[in-house]
Amino acid sequence: MHQSSSSSSLGPGGLDLSQVFFKSIEDTAPDSPIKRHTKISVIGAGNVGMAIAQTILTQDLADELVLVDVNADKLRGEMLDLQHAAAFLPRTKIVADVDYNVTLGSDLCIVTAGARQIPGETRLNLLHRNVALFQLMIPPLAKYSPDTILLIVSNPVDILTYVAWKLSGFPSNRIIGSGTNLDSSRFRFLIADHLDVNAQDVQAYIVGEHGDSSVALWSSISVGGVPVLSFLKKQQIAYEKETLENIHKEVVNSAYEVISLKGYTSWAIGYSVASLAWTLLRDQRRIHPVSVLARGFYGIECGDVFLSLPTQLGRGGVIGVTNVHMNEEETERLQSSAKTISELVSQLDL
């Protein structure tokens, strides 16, 4: 069912009308051999995958966008729906197929597909089902795009990023999980809302597991370049630690609230992942809290675990992990979060 965004072969016998419709000017040179064609593949055409695809299109991040899913009818419907918006979007070739060979030569592969939790199902059993899916998805992606960057969005994202690393055989700098990039955005929003400032002026990170054991780095939060907690202390302004903890709990529970209200999350994760794609493919070298191989950072010595740390990203993937300030309590919580992930990873059979 491989379909592309357009075809110029409309004439009799498949004549390429573009050669008739346009007349070349004189003394032209061939296209530059170094002209770059950016190709992004999104695996999974569910709510999250399509929100990511739509955001990628509106932000003009790719010359070619590929959609892959096991549901051929839904896949074709989503492809056609996006193609029909061509007059309102930057020019992008949109392709969809159930076969992974369509992802050939992708610069970035974004994996959103995953099994949904069955009522009463244990987290470990859900994890095993998702590992089985990844065993079907990751090897062909690595085969057809051996130089790609793998960006994992499927949950539990930290563990599945580790699984993708093992199954792909890629170097760790080209395996990234969306991690707490969105959690940190929610965190910045809530702080900005409390202080009545723009969220873009708030520097704040959630690190560790994308889940209940995540860690809010209160000690390094700044607004407009002003460290918040040290400023309050210097001005002898009292604050309650419980208030800070409640903001963090609100971050952790915010996704559950959205799901309870509309049934799923989509738009925020779409923008979050598109921001990562923009940083990676445009070599912006911005710092994002994403899930990376964390062994050796901040005293994490519990084996090969992926969890979120403030990380500089560029065209080659992970450039490095920033040396952000953490107090003793935050460091201990991060190490505990790493152990939580490590215990689940140890139960996998890869």
Which residue numbers belong to the known binding site for NAD(+)?
A: 44-49, 69, 130, 153-155
Phi-psi region of 306 (alpha: psi -120 to 50; beta: other; left: phi over 0): beta
Q: How far does CA 43 lie from the centroid of its chain?
A: 12
User: What single-letter amino acid sits at 266?
Assistant: S
Does residue 128 carry a catalytic annotation?
Answer: no
DSSP string covering 192-219, please? Answer: HHHHTS-GGGEE--EEB-SSTT-EE-GG
3-state secondary structure of 296: coil
3-state secondary structure of 93: strand
CB 146 within 8 A of CB 93: no
Q: Which of 2, 84, 128, 210 is catalytic?
A: 210
DSSP string covering 129-173, please? Answer: HHHHHHHHHHHHHHHH-TTPEEEE-SSSHHHHHHHHHHHH---GG
Contacts of 175 by beta carbon, 8 Å cutoff, 6+ apart: 149, 150, 152, 161, 164, 165, 168, 292, 293, 306, 317
3-state secondary structure of 345: helix
Continuous segment of H or E residues that includes residue 231: helix 228-234
User: What single-letter amino acid sits at 33?
Assistant: P
Kindly tell me the sign of the dihedral angle through the C-alpha atoms of 296, 300, 306, 311.
negative
DSSP code for 63: S
Active site residues: 210
